[in-house]
């Protein structure tokens, strides 16, 4: 059985795994490249099996207390008029806006605090610089020049995982661009959204959205655009802000205010919309979880559920199977069917999320209206909103 684990990445998957392992007596160290828990992101959905994991960890009530009060999602025109509405209650809390939506930063804070309470150690501003086999362990070199030996290394370092690159090879082998980019940042709410997550589509594949934050007067905004892969510096937010200004020049609704907010937001974050597909997630004593292994992309709304479920299964297996290789094999077998289902994109994928023409935008709105109409709701629920539950979670002891 393993005694020590080093996890790279303190997003969502890393801290969940850290907590579950530490609860079972494993010595856990988490290294995170950022100087602290990353604050950014919009609301993430807690639904289906992911919500069950938080429940089994005893954290659901605390998550509920942090959740946002939301009416639902509305497609709006350039004046802000609602063209379609999908209420939270329309699909029993499992629609596009789920019953429990929590700010990504709040969830990360909650999970990191919980794992620390159970004994996990965090080293911020630190990353892995080298990995090499060392008998029944792995030797880990960190960029602060320290070296440690652990039984297992876990890459939970997101879709651009450096752990994956070190062990499995270059990003291009595993990362599939979906044809667009998305930026998230905090913005003033401005004119009240009345609890609605408002989404505006502009011809040319542009999407602007704004949803109420947890504090009065603040909102979480997003600007997305369809595009072929672009070359830009992922570590230069100013270059990314300039990119948004060029793309969204002349777009309507609240876009000018949102661009101005993006310029000053300290949680500004932009990334390509991608999925990660890998035939194997583990090699020797290194394995991957969350977006590093199977990013489904925000278009599916299931990234957090996958991170929670993957971490839960991995922790359960490596602390109950005496043979690590058997445990890693079982992690793959148990989690993969859920991953495959969760990675199915909504019909139309990026083209449907960010339509190019006015006609395509209108068709999307008409489709939403049909989906929420009473006669079609049960069918729409089965077709689009039942994936989060598509796994039977094994029972592991969670102390």
Which lies closer to ligand FAD via its Cβ, residue 77 or residue 141?
141
Provide the β-strand partners of residue 226: 180
State yes or no: residue 248 binds ligand FAD (CB under 6 A).
no
Write each residue from 205 to 244 as x if it is in contact with ligand FAD (CB under 6 A), else as -, in one continuous string: ----------------------------------------
Which lies closer to ligand FAD via its Cβ, residue 42 or residue 240?
42
Q: DSSP strand E in 111-268: where?
A: 121-124, 128-134, 137-142, 147-150, 152-155, 175-188, 196-202, 206-212, 218-226
The least distance separating ligand FAD from the CB of residue 291, rounded to whole angstroms, comes to 4
The residue whose two tokens read 């019953």 is 99
Among 41, 213, 237, 316, interactor with ligand FAD by CB under 6 A: 41
Instruction: Tell which positions 132-161 bind ligand FAD, by CB under 6 A.
Output: 156-158
State yes or no: residue 104 binds ligand FAD (CB under 6 A).
yes
State yes or no: residue 29 binds ligand FAD (CB under 6 A).
no
State yes or no: residue 50 binds ligand FAD (CB under 6 A).
no
Q: DSSP strand E in 341-391: where?
A: none
The least distance separating ligand FAD from the CB of residue 111, rounded to whole angstroms, comes to 9
Give the residue from 259, 4, 27, 286 showing the smallest Cα distance to 131.
286
Name the strand (E) or helix (H) holding 8: strand 4-8
The least distance separating ligand FAD from the CB of residue 30, rounded to whole angstroms, comes to 9
State yes or no: residue 307 binds ligand FAD (CB under 6 A).
yes
Instruction: Tell which positions 259-288 bind ligand FAD, by CB under 6 A.
Output: 269
Cα dist. 94→34, 40, 57, 88, 112 in Å? 33, 24, 21, 7, 26
Q: How far apart are alpha carbons 379 and 384 in whole angstroms?
A: 9
State yes or no: residue 189 binds ligand FAD (CB under 6 A).
no
Stretch that binds ligand FAD, among 32-40, 280-288, 346-354, 372-380 (CB under 6 A): 32-40
Cα dist. 305→46, 52, 54 in Å? 7, 9, 10
92 Rama class: left (phi>0) / alpha (psi -120 to 50) / beta = left
State yes or no: residue 13 binds ligand FAD (CB under 6 A).
yes
State yes or no: residue 31 binds ligand FAD (CB under 6 A).
yes
Q: How far apart are alpha carbons 290 and 14 in whole angstroms?
A: 8
The least distance separating ligand FAD from the CB of residue 358, rounded to whole angstroms, comes to 27
Token representation of residue 54: 């938080």
Size of the site for ligand FAD (CB under 6 A): 31
Which lies closer to ligand FAD via its Cβ, residue 35 or residue 395?
35
CA angle 31, 159, 305 (to 5 degrees): 90
State yes or no: residue 106 binds ligand FAD (CB under 6 A).
no
187 contact partners, CB below 8 Å, separation of at least 6: 210, 218, 219, 220, 221, 257, 258, 261, 262, 265
Residues that bind ligand FAD (CB under 6 A): 8-14, 31-34, 38, 40-42, 44, 104, 127, 156-158, 162, 184, 269, 290-292, 298, 303-304, 307
């Amino acid at each position: 059985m393993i005694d020590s684990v080093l996890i790279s990445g303190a997003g969502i998957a890393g801290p969940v795994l850290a907590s579950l392992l530490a609860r079972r007596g494993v010595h856990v160290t988490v290294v995170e490249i950022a100087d602290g828990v990353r604050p950014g992101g919009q609301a993430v959905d807690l639904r289906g099996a992911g919500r069950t994991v938080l429940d089994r960890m005893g954290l659901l009530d605390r998550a509920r207390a942090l959740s946002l009060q939301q009416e639902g999602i509305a497609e709006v025109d350039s004046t802000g008029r609602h063209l379609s509405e999908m209420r939270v209650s329309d699909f029993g809390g499992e629609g596009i806006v789920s019953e429990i939506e929590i700010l990504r930063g709040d969830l990360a804070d909650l999970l990191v605090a919980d794992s620390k309470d159970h004994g996990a150690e965090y080293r911020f501003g630190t990353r892995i610089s080298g990995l090499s086999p060392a008998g029944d362990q792995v030797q880990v070199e960190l960029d602060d020049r320290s070296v440690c030996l652990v039984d297992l290394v876990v890459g939970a370092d997101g879709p651009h995982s450096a752990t994956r690159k070190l062990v499995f090879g270059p990003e291009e082998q595993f990362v599939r661009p979906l044809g667009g980019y998305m930026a998230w940042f905090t913005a003033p709410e401005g004119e009240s959204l009345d609890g609605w997550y408002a989404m505006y589509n502009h011809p040319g594949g542009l999407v602007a959205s704004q949803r109420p934050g947890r504090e009065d007067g603040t909102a979480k905004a997003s600007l997305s655009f369809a595009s072929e892969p672009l070359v830009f510096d992922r570590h230069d937010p100013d270059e990314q802000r300039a990119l948004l200004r060029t793309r969204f020049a002349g777009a309507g609704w609240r876009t000018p205010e949102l661009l101005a907010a993006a310029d000053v937001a300290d949680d500004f974050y932009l990334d390509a919309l991608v999925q990660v597909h890998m035939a194997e997630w583990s090699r020797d004593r290194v394995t991957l979880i969350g977006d590093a292994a199977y990013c489904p992309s925000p278009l599916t709304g299931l990234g957090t559920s996958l991170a929670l479920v993957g971490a839960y299964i991995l922790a359960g297996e490596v602390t109950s199977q005496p043979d690590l290789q058997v445990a890693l094999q079982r992690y793959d077998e148990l989690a993969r069917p859920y991953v495959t289902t969760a990675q199915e994109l909504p019909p139309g994928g990026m083209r449907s999320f960010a339509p190019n023409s006015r006609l395509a935008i209108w068709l999307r709105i008409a489709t939403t209206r049909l989906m929420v109409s009473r006669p079609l709701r049960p069918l729409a629920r089965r077709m689009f909103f039942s994936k989060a539950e598509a796994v039977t979670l094994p029972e592991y002891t969670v102390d």
